[in-house]
Amino acid sequence: MSQTLIAARLHTPSHVWINPVITLNDDGLITSIETASSSSDDTILTPTFLDIHIHGAVNHDVMEGTPEALNSISRFLATRGVSHYLPTTVTAAVDPTLRALDSIATNIETKHHDGAIPLGIHLEGPFVSHIKRGVHPPEHILPPSIELFDRFQQAARGHIRLITIAPETPGALELIHHATKLGVKVSIGHSNATAAETHAALAAGATSATHTFNAMRALDHREPGILGVVLDDRNLFAELICDGVHVAPELVRLFLKAKGTEKAILITDGMSATGMPDGTYILGGFEVQVANGRCLANGVLAGSVLTLDRAVFNFARFTGTPFADVTHLASRNPAAMLGLEAQLTIAPGQPANFNRYTPDGTLLATILNGRQVI
């Protein structure tokens, strides 16, 4: 028995439907999208989100690797507009990282997910800069190694889709080239790279930048460094944590001017405190103190408690961009960076995954496979 979804507008990356009527089959797949002459519904439908950089939520860290931890994170994300995500690791000793990758891979291979679906793994660390390590434990940071990456990918059974690398570290260019040949996307970050070192990384195959501005060499008018290249290169995707804590609104606006709405990617960098009250929580293997929206480990920012629906709202408010357009920064753009546009598109035959908003941009409901989550 089919069902229909109606709204005042449906915003997809390629089209805006006025008064859409979306028909679904019993499996939650879209069978048709048509328009009506009018609608009794004033809400707006958009694609659901893809968070490519998230470490945890609801008092669980992805590196726990247990079904309870990953399923809890997945269910929570679905209530915040996220249909797909990349569980993101943090620098740790090699053996615990291998165990975490194996466990996350098992969860990815599970056929049924009661919430957001993990599409692969984002390996953040251990191939980062000591100088710009942020809270990554220095004792576990390692120089980029093809051999070690291959061990990680073997443990993950090929599910590593994205890796963050500091391009100035010895062996980085070789690993970027190797990972790219295997179809793994490379993001440059946690880096003190010069402009020349950054350009070399892009030539080797890097396609994105990890949490722009944060854990990056400061901008200098004679040595633009990694940040200058990230902002200047219109072909490079770039992440942003838009919580009002990690990046000031003025620089959010500068980021938009530099990257446009085609290459900007909104992420959360969320950790286990997301969705929880203030207190002490775990990121990877170390403690983080959370209070008033700030996550600190020894006085250094350690992830966030941001959710993607809030990131979209903040970005629209900071920049004046219509929120329906901003949703593409959390859906179309990360999918395009990963090469998954076709898999996550809104079209007949695809799962009915939508976010429903009020006219002012408040998330009312997430619909996954035709079923309303909230």
Query: Which residues are identified as catalytic?
Result: 269
Q: How far is CA 281 from CA 58, 141, 268, 293, in A?
A: 10, 22, 17, 13
Positions of E strands within 157-263: 160-165, 185-188, 208-209, 238-241
177 marked as binding residue: no
Of 181, 188, 253, nearest in space to 216 by CA:
188
For residue 344 the two structure tokens come to: 């996550």
Residues 6+ apart with CB under 8 A from 220: 228
Distance from C-alpha of 166 to C-alpha of 133, rounded to nearest angstrom: 10
135 marked as binding residue: yes
Residue 214: strand pairing partners: none
190 marked as binding residue: yes
124 marked as binding residue: yes
28 marked as binding residue: no
227 marked as binding residue: no
Query: Hey, is 228 helix, strand or coil?
Result: helix
Contact 305, 57 (CB under 8 A): no
122 marked as binding residue: no
Q: What single string gives the DSSP state of each residue in 200-212? A: HHHHHT--EESST
Q: What are phi and psi of 163, to 5 degrees?
A: -140, 135
195 residue type, one letter? A
Query: Hey, is 38 helix, strand or coil?
Result: coil
301 marked as binding residue: yes
**At what angle are helices 94-108 and 67-78 packed, to 10 degrees?**
60
Torsion of CA 199, 141, 77, 309, to 10 degrees: -40
Residue 123: strand pairing partners: 163
Query: In the Cβ-directed half-sphere of 356, how many Cα atoms lie within 13 Å?
Result: 19
215 marked as binding residue: yes
305 marked as binding residue: no
Cα-atom radius of gyration of the chain, to the nearest Å?
20
15 marked as binding residue: no
Distance from C-alpha of 62 to C-alpha of 86, rounded to nearest angstrom: 10
Mark the binding-site residues, compressed into ranges: 124, 135, 190, 211, 214-215, 222, 246, 301-303
Mark the binding-site residues for substrate, compressed into ranges: 135, 214-215, 222, 246, 301-303
Mark the binding-site residues for Zn(2+), compressed into ranges: 124, 190, 211
